[in-house]
Amino acid sequence: MEAKATKTKVRNKIRKESPGERVFDVFNVIFLLALSICMIYPLWHVICASFSNPMRIARTAAPIIFPMNADGGLGFTVAAYKQMWTHPLIIPAYINSIGIVVVGTTLNIIMTSLCAYVLSRQNVMLKKPFTLFVMFTMFFSGGMIPTYIVNTQIFHLDDSYLALILPGAISVYNMIIMRTNFESIPVSLDEAARLDGAGHMRILFQIVLPLSKAIIAVMILYYAVGHWNSWFQASLYIRTPEKKPLQLLLREILIQNDTSAMSSSTSGTAAGQADQAEIGETLKYATIIFATVPILIVYPFLQKHFTKGVMVGAVKG
């Protein structure tokens, strides 16, 4: 920080900025700020709408800047969230998703670090063929249908969470990031441990992994966000409604417009149906926030780490 500040001072001494450049700087800042607002506005709109009066939202097409009451003034209601709570599947789906994230990510980390460790060792015969064996899967795969058939007909993973956890246990791309990191650990540490009679198991768990906490944090984030956000695999394999993860249920509620499972005291009459349609809209907003809250909570704390993986990948790639 300090170095940068002095650098700027030196720069300013050498040459004064021309008026054109200053105008550019001002416009650049304004443009980028406007762009950032555009980027996060959709989410803000949804947050405000979810706390607004449903009838009001249904009648407003203008951008929403704050939660509104029935008259369009500032108002705050959790009606949509209460309504969402009555959906019989939403809590189970939430719990299912959390379970998949926890178990799936644990498996991901174990398998990925095993693979990365083996590929990061020097002086091992079979390293070349093994690397080829792993890398090949990055460029060629069975494709959607053969994979589906093999998983359901041979491994019988139909309607099982294993179908969501096992097939993607190692992402080769993430594995390469991890391997690069493992390779940067000084070989001398490794050699010293070997002289002391430590096996590879001990080196991995007591030397390599503790020294790679930062990259493991990044990997946990990547995999966990991946599991939390995934819906397609579940749509292929999960049949039982109670077993559905959150994103799959969300697709039904949000994309296929199926809010019928949520109870409504006013249904029956024509006016009641119109009411329900309006509440249905706000419900969508509430479910979006409900599903995105974990990421929004985690994000500020971890944003520093999120980019790290890309950087490591960039150094390599």
Q: Binding to other proteins (CB under 8 A): which residues in 239-258?
A: 247, 250-251, 254-255
Distance CA(307)–CA(218), nearest Å, equals: 8
Shortest separation between residue 62's beta carbon and other proteins, angstroms? 7
Nearer to other proteins, 20 or 265 (CB): 20
Shortest separation between residue 186's beta carbon and other proteins, angstroms? 19
Q: Binding to other proteins (CB under 8 A): which residues in 137-166?
A: 137, 139-151, 153-155, 166
Shortest separation between residue 14's beta carbon and other proteins, angstroms? 5
Shortest separation between residue 36's beta carbon and other proteins, angstroms? 4
Q: Binding to other proteins (CB under 8 A): which residues in 182-221?
A: 199-201, 204
SS3 68: strand
Shortest separation between residue 130's beta carbon and other proteins, angstroms? 7
Which listed residue (21, 191, 242, 258) binds other proteins by CB under 8 A?
Answer: 21
Place of tokens 């990031």: 177
Distance CA(21)–CA(276), nearest Å, equals: 56
Shortest separation between residue 47's beta carbon and other proteins, angstroms? 11
Distance CA(133)–CA(113), nearest Å, equals: 17
φ/ψ region of 130 (left if φ > 0, alpha if ψ in -120 to 50, else beta) reads alpha
Site string for other proteins, 69-108 (x = CB under 8 A): ----------------------------------------
| Chain-centroid distance, C-alpha 109 | 16
Distant-in-sequence, close-in-space partners of 179: CB < 8 Å, separation ≥ 6: 115, 116, 119, 120
Q: What are phi and psi of 74, to 5 degrees?
A: -70, 125
Which window, 43-51, 178-186, 209-217, 261-269, contacts other proteins (CB under 8 A)?
A: 43-51
User: CB count, 10 Å around CB of 1?
Assistant: 4
φ/ψ region of 301 (left if φ > 0, alpha if ψ in -120 to 50, else beta) reads alpha
Nearer to other proteins, 26 or 268 (CB): 26
Q: Binding to other proteins (CB under 8 A): which residues in 222-241?
A: 225, 228-232, 236
Which window, 85-93, 127-135, 178-186, 267-275, contacts other proteins (CB under 8 A)?
A: 127-135
Which listed residue (30, 74, 124, 274) binds other proteins by CB under 8 A?
Answer: 124
Is position 25 an interface residue for other proteins (rule: CB under 8 A)?
Answer: yes
Which window, 69-77, 85-93, 110-118, 263-271, contacts other proteins (CB under 8 A)?
A: 110-118
Alpha helix positions (H), the chain: 2-14, 19-50, 54-59, 79-85, 90-120, 127-139, 144-149, 162-165, 172-183, 187-195, 200-202, 209-211, 213-229, 232-237, 246-250, 270-316
Which listed residue (2, 6, 9, 18) binds other proteins by CB under 8 A?
Answer: 18
Is position 277 an interface residue for other proteins (rule: CB under 8 A)?
Answer: no
Nearer to other proteins, 38 or 270 (CB): 38
Nearer to other proteins, 78 or 314 (CB): 314
Q: Binding to other proteins (CB under 8 A): which residues in 49-68?
A: 58, 60-63
Are 92 and 238 in contact, with CB atoms under 8 Å apart? no
Distance CA(59)–CA(278), nearest Å, equals: 9
Is position 11 an interface residue for other proteins (rule: CB under 8 A)?
Answer: yes
SS3 63: coil
Are 83 and 279 in contact, with CB atoms under 8 Å apart? yes
Which listed residue (80, 83, 105, 117) binds other proteins by CB under 8 A?
Answer: 117
